[in-house]
Structures are given as structure tokens and as C-alpha cells.
A = this chain, B = another copy of it.
């Protein structure tokens, strides 16, 4: 048989194994509760619209060109106005194949090898791996319970300026930050804009989880407070409708949009998703999201209660006010890279902290737990099992549910 191994490129490092299903206790990734996918309503929306408009799929980009299905872009700009206070025209919206593609396009448009960007010190692992792949330096800016700290941001900006460097952008997830779950207050958003203006740097705002604040009330997007078009913005329907749909969006001003479009070399994002969402969302989105929030809130409370019961006082976390994940700090003696491996072998999957922070070493005793996908019962079982595995491996927690472990 022909051997391809000797021909592999320098980036073809990883080697995946055939998929064998998810582990029984799956506390990672952006998967959501399958019961919340609006299958019936989507099915109702889809038939007529495909019959009536499906012929447009004979053209790449259908009738709307490379920025994506115009009726969907119209809903997106309207939705961003109502929910995030943004004033955006459909011409400033690009429908992307998930928000991952939005991030790839912004990076491709702005970043060269050796450039530097500022990011929150604890971050979405994909942000960091994409920057690593591009050979771009990133500096982690510390967070507190209100998100990125402005004193830390100013220090980072002035330190770079002193070294004659200017970051290509400040990347932030201000609303339900990933993984910390923090929501940045409006005052701090204004401070960030002022600093960005002072240091002449753009902001890349990732708002993928913003519709999942349990109270339903969120601060306006940084983009909404921006008066000189320095904010690039992305969002998604993955967390509110279904991740497998792969429909996200990028908001950018012209002429920047004109420079980004030629970099989207995929001949357009999936048409069926765009047609169906354009039909479904206007009449259903608000009610659908309103229905998700109490379910997510209950799961967050269940996760916290299960952690308290099974791990007791040895761990710390900020009680989530939105989103689908919890950022947990364990005793320094517990290496979550090792916990990840032994737990996965026993059917419990977690995100080790080292992969979700700029300073991997300083976060080896932290972990990210996602609660969107598992059921309430599965969360209880899984966390009890995780505590058991953690005790077997590290001798902690000693007590579980007030009972000393044997």
C-alpha cells in the first residue's frame, strides 16, 4: 500500500481516530440540549420556503451574492438592534459558516506572522490555537468578576507602546466570557473603547453567547457604544438554535468588508440553513431563546450544587449568570491535564484549564465544565463520578456529600 506519512506537511501533525461516539458524561464543547433544538418548528418552516425559493440554490450565493442570504442578514441586523443596541445595515453583515469562520476571516484579513494581539488571559482554546497556527503573538489580559480588567489592559497597551509595538486588535468576549462566564458592565465597555481610541487599536468583539444571559438582560454590545467604527463583531446561532447548523455572522464596516470578502473562498455558506433560518427566526427567535434560559439556569444551578455536594470546599467558581460553561479552580495539587485523561478513560470528559488560558502552566489546576448538552440527571451522575475519579487519582476530595471517602 502507498505510504502517505512521508508526504505529510508540517501542519499535518495531529492524527484522529475514527469517531466512536461521545463519552456518557460529556462536559465539553458547544453542544446543546438536543431536546431544545426546535425540530418541529424548523420542519414546519422549511417545506414551503424550499419549495418556493429553493430554485435560487442553483446559483452560488443565491440571489444575495457572497455576503449571504439577504433576508437572513436583515433579521440579523434587526436582531442586533433589538438585543445588543447595535445599529448595523445588512450590507455590514456577512453570513459565515459558524463564528469560527468569522474569526478565521478577521485573522486572515488583519494578521501577519509576528504580529501581536491582546486577548483575555483565560480564553476560548480555538482563539489561541488559531493565533498559534498563524505565528501571531498574544498577550493575556487578566480578568476579574467583571471581565477583562481595564488597568491590566492599559498596562498591556502601554508596555507594548514602550516597546514600539501596536497590537493588531483587542479580542474580547465581553458578554458571558469564555470560559469565565463573566459579563462586562457598560462602564467598563466604555473604558475599553476609550483605551482603544487612545492607543489607536481596533476591537474584535465575540458575542457568541450574549443571548444566553439567564436574566434575559444584557449590556449593549461594545460595537453599539463605538462611535468611530473600530469594532469588528461576530455572533452565531449555534448556541441558541443548533451548533450543527453552522450559521454565524461577522459585522464589519466597509471598506474592511470589501477586503474580507475575497478571503472567503468557500463559494458561500450553506444555503439551506440560511433560507430556513431566515424563515424561522423572525417569528420564533425571541420565544425560543426565552424558553432556553430557565433550562440553562437550572442546569447551571444543578452543576454548582453537584460540585458543592461532591467536591465540597476544595473548589472555587463564580456562580454563572449566563452561558453554558463554568470555570472551576481546584487545589494546586490537582493537575487537570491528568484528571482529563483518567476521567475520559472512565467516560467523563472535561476541558483541562491549561488549554483554556494564555498561561497554561498557571491554569493546570483549573477546568472548564460545559452544562449545555447534558441533562440535569446526567450532570448529577457525571459530577459524582468525576469527584470519585479525582479522589482515586489525587486523594481529593476526601469528603463527598458530607460522607468521608473510604
Contacts and interface: CB of A to CB of B under 8 A. Distances in A.
Interface of A: 1-2, 4-5, 7-19, 21-22, 29-40, 42-44, 46-48, 50-67, 91, 97-98, 100-101, 108-112, 126, 130, 168, 202, 228-230, 242-246, 253-263, 265-273, 276, 373
Contacts of A272: 245, 270, 272-273, 276
Nearest to A257: B16
A256 B65 contact: no
A111 B7 CA distance: 8
A4 B244 CA distance: 33
Nearest to A227: B1
B244 A1 contact: no
Contacts of A109: 8-9, 12
Contacts of A265: 100, 126, 130
Nearest to A30: B60
A61 B263 contact: no
A65 B19 contact: yes
Contacts of A255: 4-5, 15
Complex copy number for this chain: 2
A245 B57 contact: yes
Contacts of A46: 43, 46-47, 50
Sort A-B residue pairs by CB-CB distance and give the 8 closest, nearest first: A19-B65, A39-B54, A14-B262, A270-B270, A244-B271, A34-B58, A2-B230, A57-B242
A141 to B, nearest CB: 19
B50 A112 contact: no
Contact of A258 (B15, B31, B230): B15
Given A109-B8, A262-B14, A273-B270, A19 B67 contact: yes
A374 to B, nearest CB: 11
A34 B55 contact: yes
A60 B31 contact: yes
Contacts of A261: 14, 16
Given A57-B242, A59-B22, A110-B7, A259 B14 contact: yes
7 contacts: A1-B253, A2-B230, A16-B262, A18-B254, A97-B97, A100-B265, A100-B267
Nearest to A51: B43
Contacts of A30: 60, 267
A37 B52 CA distance: 11
A138 B244 CA distance: 37
A385 to B, nearest CB: 21
A8 B242 contact: no
A200 to B, nearest CB: 8
Contacts of A10: 112
Contacts of A19: 61, 64-67
Given A168-B7, A229-B1, A230-B2, A58 B243 contact: yes
A378 to B, nearest CB: 14
A265 B36 CA distance: 25
Contacts of A16: 66, 257-259, 261-262
